[in-house]
Amino acid sequence: MKYYNSSTLIYLNGKFVKAAEAKTDLYGQSLHYGLAAFEGIRAYKTHNATRVFKIKEHYKRLQRSCELLNIPFPWDINELIKQTYRLLELNNLKDAYIRPLVYSEPNMSLVAPQAVSIMICAWEWASYLGDKQLKVCVSPFQRPNPKSTFVEAKISGHYVNSILASTDAKQKGFDEALLLDMDENVAEAPGANIFIEKNGKLYTPSLGNILAGITRATVIELCHVLDIEVIEKPISVAELKSADGAFFCGTAAEIVGIHTIDDVVYRQRWSDSIGATMQRAYKNLVLEKVNYEVII
Ligand code: PMP
């Protein structure tokens, strides 16, 4: 996949520069130790205009991730929002995935850096996990222990764990992995949260051992609007496997159904599931079809 061409612009520390000509220092903690914070945001071409979904929430999470990493965040969020829209305009992008990254200036020590850079890039990206229901396996890799890092922060280094789990799942012939937490309860996918459906209700792992996904929060909001009961609680593997259905949700993946977990097939038809209702409601919401509760 090509993320940029010779005319693509990125935002780098206050300026727009060509992606092909932008440089980074090789002596930074981000490259060597994974100390960086990032976001994944989506812009949608709505009937109004191109709109970046929950952009403020994403930049606030980026700021919070930096705070937890003890690295500076000397930028104004409203200014970053303005520059993100400008980036889309300059690259003529309407539907796009946007990736801000805060990374360290040269520093080979193991102490948080005083100087950081920010870059924002964007490209067209279809739903990350596709639109077919997924064959998922329970990963042999656990999510990072919250006592060894800040799991609520979106830190680059955490994604080594994600890459290990996804690669392992693909090598075994699955589409994606599902990771457990240190208590062997269901946690999340390498880049998405999970909901399961049982007897007309949705369940999702409580916060604490997972990334607090902005899509997860949106699904919970949609449940309230649509009068669907949603419960946040620890979920065991036995509960996962005896559910009626399940789906992943995330900015890149949007909402995607799960067909099988290991050898267990969810018998409920996707089209009859709450997951399918959520998928339609989410699409309507991001596309600003205002009466989404009526439309679905
Ligand atoms: N969990 C992990 C590990 C992720 O990387 C992501 C993607 N950011 C999510 C959950 C979903 O988060 P969001 O809905 O904010 O994209």
* Per-residue pLDDT tens digits for 82-96: 999 999 999 999 999
Domain boundary residue among 98, 123, 148?
A: 123
Selected residue with higher pLDDT from 296 and 230: 230
Query: Hey, whose CA ends up nearest to atom 13 of ligand 1?
Result: 213
- What the block records as the tokens of 72 is 């500076």
Q: Which of ligand 1's atoms lies nearest the C-alpha of 210?
A: 1
- What the block records as the tokens of 113 is 């850096």
Q: How confident is residue 130, by pLDDT bands cut at 50, 70 and 90?
A: confident
Exposure string of 33-61, with b = 16+ CB inside 10 Å and e = fewer, is eebbbbbbbbbbeeeeeebbbbbeebbeb
Domain boundary residue among 123, 149, 180?
A: 123
The range of the structural domain enclosing residue 164 comes to 134-294
Spatial CB neighbours of 278, under 8 Å, sequence gap ≥ 6: 195, 219, 222, 223, 247, 249, 255
The pTM for the full model equals: 0.96
230/116 same-domain check: no
Which of 163, 193, 209 for mutating ligand 1's site (highest number of atoms within 8 Å of CB)?
A: 193
139/286 same-domain check: yes
Q: Please tell me the distance between residue 68's alpha carbon and the centre of ligand 1 in angstroms.
A: 17
Please report whether residue 197 resides in a domain. Answer: yes
192/63 same-domain check: no
Domain boundary residue among 69, 100, 123?
A: 123
Query: What tens digit of pLDDT does each residue of 197-235 get?
Result: 999 999 999 999 999 999 999 999 999 999 999 999 999
Q: Please tell me the distance between residue 265's alpha carbon and the centre of ligand 1 in angstroms.
A: 25
Q: Which residues have C-beta atoms less than 6 Å from ligand 1?
A: 40, 188, 191-193, 211, 213-216, 250-251
Query: Hey, whose CA ends up nearest to atom 3 of ligand 1?
Result: 191
142/70 same-domain check: no
Please report whether residue 20 resides in a domain. Answer: yes
Give the total number of structural domains in the chain. 2
